[in-house]
Structure 1
Amino acid sequence: MFLENVVFDATDPQALGRFWEAALGTERLTDELAGFETRLAVAEGPVLDLCFQRVPEPPAGPQRLHLDLRGAEEQEAVVERLLASGAGRADIGQGQVPWVVLADPDGNAFCVMEQRAAYDGTGPIAALPLDVADPDRERDFWSWLSGWVPIEGSGLPSLQHASRRGPLLELCPETEPKGPAKNRIHLDLRLEPGDDADAVARGIADRGGRELDLGWGDLPWRHFADPSGNEFCVLPSRD
């Protein structure tokens, strides 16, 4: 099993997907009415697909997962480029910080980070910060789930692909518990050939997660929540 997708809910997947494709320099996979997909391949590291799925209403509620982009020495230039591409400046109560908070065309906040040694070799996405109730517990949960390994140096309990390349998955202390609204951005895992889907579901439950029934009918993937309630999907293997 491995981490495959970062999924955005969007009323206009094409517009939002093209913004992020230009922002990250990714490779387009699909451009269809139901959604838009683009691929980030980190040299000698993971491959992550950014998927933009159509939803009928604009996403609402707190944003518990976001993207931190690597700015480093070019932070100011990256910010100016993103503003010219359709991003806007955002105030989420960050105060005086060395990173810059922006919002994409759908209002999803993201950050352009200053130079940090922990982000060397990550590629254009420095980190995927996820709000959780217990960062140490969630680090163990997501490490088992994704196969990513714990790393030090970011200031937060964090994981990274075993290659030590690509973005960090940072487990951030939540400011309030997860509410009933579905997260507007979530992660997808993909089973590998030979993985037992039911055994994976039991493993998730044994570690504090749970399977969800969203009432969406018979689908080839299954919906789950981590111990903090953050939704994620487990997709079938491609064999």
Structure 2
Amino acid sequence: MALRPVQLNIKAVNQSVVARFWAAALGWSILHEGVTTYVGPPGDFIWPDPRTVGIDVVPVPSAKTPAKNRVHLDLATTSATHQKELIARLQSLGAVPVDVGQKNVPWTVLADPEGNEFCVLEPRDTYQNTGPIAAVVIDCTDPQSMAHFWGEAIDWPVHETTANTATLRAPQGTGPYLEFLRVPTPKTAADRIHLDLMPYPTDDKATEVSRLHSLGATDLDLGQGNVPWTCLTDPDGHEFCVLASP
């Protein structure tokens, strides 16, 4: 039994602006517009996409606070020239440089039109086959504990660990990495960005939610009422949802 990450949920005041930005930034397409807007690789609308984690932009009434998001994207590049050109193109689309205390590093930190931070990485061999998204990065106080929880939740093996990081990768070796980065302060506010998971067709959603509880997940009441998805938090307090199979 396991769950699969199917999309990154990004909250936005102006849903269409944020969706258009990320579609252009990643070279993807807006594949479905409705209550939420789904962005994924170009081609026929396939959901969930078997190749990668898509983006679902969800309208909310409140703007992002100045505090740095605890979940962000790292974007992959293939060369120093590609990195420079991508940064310039992203800024032409509305991204702005931001200072999150990164100092002198080989990657560049930008924010999308609503202030969601992301990184444009220097070329790294590790990320040459991920597609445009190199990694989904989650700040936490205990990367090893988070890697254990999420590895069990989605059945992704640990790719690498250090004292301050832990990285998971899908066993088939496709799509972005899931990385946990140690930070000194605990989570205190709701995430602007979170992962949505889904059971495989042969698995039961209620059984999977019960399994997550046994791993340390906690129920979350956001006033969502009677909906087909289940809201939970992981052991570090990060929100995520388990969606019903289509």
Fold agreement, TM-score > 0.5: yes
AA at the equivalent of 1:55: V
AA at the equivalent of 1:157: A
- Could you say what the CA RMSD is over the residues aligned between the two structures, in angstroms? 1.9
- CA spacing shift, 1:146–1:40, aligned 2, 3 Å: farther
* Mapped contact 1:40–1:48 kept (Cα < 8 A): no
Residues 22-55 of structure 1 deviation map (CA, whole Å, 9 limit, x = unaligned): 00011322123x32111138xx973322010000
- d(CA) in 1 for partners of 2:137, 2:170: 15
Aligned to 1:7: 9
- d(CA) in 1 for partners of 2:54, 2:131: 14
- d(CA) in 1 for partners of 2:206, 2:161: 36
The equivalences for 1:109-188 within 5 A come to 109-152=117-160, 156-179=165-188, 181-188=189-196
Scaled by the length of structure 1, the TM-score of the pair is 0.92
- d(CA) in 2 for partners of 1:112, 1:20: 13
Are 2:47 and 1:38 aligned? Answer: no
Aligned residue pairs total 234
- d(CA) in 2 for partners of 1:233, 1:199: 14
Aligned residue for 2:41, secondary structure, equals strand
Equivalent in 61, 73, 79 of residue 56 of structure 1: 61
Aligned to 1:237: 245
* Mapped contact 2:15–2:59 kept (Cα < 8 A): yes
- CA spacing shift, 1:153–1:182, aligned 2, 3 Å: closer
Aligned to 2:18: 16
**Once the two structures are aligned, what percentage of the paired residues are identical?**
37
- d(CA) in 2 for partners of 1:222, 1:174: 28
Residues 159-199 of structure 1 deviation map (CA, whole Å, 9 limit, x = unaligned): 112221221100111331111x3200000001122322232
AA at the equivalent of 1:70: A
- d(CA) in 2 for partners of 1:139, 1:166: 17
- CA spacing shift, 1:45–1:234, aligned 2, 3 Å: closer
Report the Cα offset of residue 152 of structure 1: 2.9
Gaps of 5+ in 1: none
- d(CA) in 1 for partners of 2:50, 2:231: 27
- d(CA) in 2 for partners of 1:153, 1:131: 15
Scaled by the length of structure 2, the TM-score of the pair is 0.89
